[in-house]
Structure formats: C-alpha cells, structure tokens
Amino acid sequence: AQSVTQPDIHITVSEGASLELRCNYSYGATPYLFWYVQSPGQGLQLLLKYFSGDTLVQGIKGFEAEFKRSQSSFNLRKPSVHWSDAAEYFCAVEGNYGQNFVFGPGTRLSVLP
C-alpha cells in the first residue's frame, strides 16, 4: 500500500529565507506525486505535480520540487519565502489512475517578518 511521510510537523522560517519541505513516499511502482497548499479555512490548492520526465518540476508561486527515486523523496523548495506562504503543505502520492490518492500528514509553515 502507498504511504507518505512528512517528517516535519511545523517549520518556522524568516521572510526571505530559503525553504525545503520534506516528503518521503512508499510505493511499489512509478508514483505520481503532488504538493498541495492549504491556507487557513480553505481547501487545498495544487502547487505542482510529477508524473514522469524531468525530475525537477516547477510549480506556481515560485515553488519547485525534485523527485529522487533512489531516496523515495519528493522535497518541495522555494529560494525566498514570502509572508503569504504561511500555510499548511501536503505531499500526496497516487497510483491508480486518479482513484487512489494518499496524503501525508502535512507540514505547517510559519513565516517570521
């Protein structure tokens, strides 16, 4: 069965600092991987996705993520964090043609001015 871990429950960074959120997955075949962001009281918004090809994928809001098969990881990065990036971030894996999404527990990001 698929599973997703996000080792960091809560991360605090200063505005302008770089950010890396970790995601590790367990899946037997080629995974389809996603990062979502959730602002307080809102639904989840897709940041980026990886299906195949280039292992470094670009998303919205200046985010990128790198798929590393050897490490079963799909870490999310941003070179310079803005105060509006404060939110909860979810990594997800899908392996059944759009019917079986498994989400990680989420990482809450706080941004200091």
Partner 1 sequence: DVKVTQSSRYLVKRTGEKVFLECVQDMDHENMFWYRQDPGLGLRLIYFSYDVKMKEKGDIPEGYSVSREKKERFSLILESASTNQTSMYLCASSLGQGNNSPLHFGNGTRLTVT
Say whether residue 41 binds partner 1 (CB under 8 A): yes
From the list 53, 54, 70, 98, which residue makes contact with partner 1 (rule: CB under 8 A)?
98
- Give the C-alpha separation, 37 to 34, whole Å: 10
Say whether residue 70 binds partner 1 (CB under 8 A): no
From the list 23, 65, 104, 109, which residue makes contact with partner 1 (rule: CB under 8 A)?
104
Backbone φ and ψ of 80, nearest 5° = -150, 110
Check: CB of residue 4 under 8 Å from CB of residue 103.
Answer: yes
Backbone φ and ψ of 33, nearest 5° = -120, 145
Residue 25, beta-bridge partner list = 4
Stretch that binds partner 1, among 11-19, 60-68, 78-86, 98-106 (CB under 8 A): 98-106
Q: Which two tokens stand for residue 73?
A: 């990881």
From the list 58, 60, 105, 110, which residue makes contact with partner 1 (rule: CB under 8 A)?
105
Residue 103, beta-bridge partner list = 92
Contact set with partner 1 (CB under 8 A): 32, 34, 36, 41-46, 49, 51, 90, 92, 94, 97-99, 101, 103-106
